[in-house]
Amino acid sequence: MIECPYCGKELILYDWFGTQMFTSSPQKMGDIYKCENQECESGIFNYYFYTYDENYGLHEGYPC
């Protein structure tokens, strides 16, 4: 379980991201999470967080 660093609520797995997303062999790089608490201070990033598979640290925002 991954928690929101602002409010402590469980983050919801929203999607994943990677390279070659629209090919027959996409390579996953990490997961995208969203906080459903709309009163949370993470609103500046639209409540999104992400992780990279090789480094499980939580990052704010949506991966570019």
Question: Which residues on neighbouring strands pair with residue 31, listed in sequence order?
Answer: 16, 51
Measured CA to CA, the distance from residue 53 to residue 34 in angstroms comes to: 17
Looking at residue 10, its pLDDT comes to 94
Please tell me which residue, 3 or 25, carries the higher pLDDT value.
3
Instruction: Give pTM, 2 decimals.
Output: 0.79
Separation of alpha carbons 34 and 21, rounded Å: 20
- Give the model confidence (pLDDT) of 18-55 as tens digits: 887 677 778 888 899 999 988 877 777 788 888 886 66
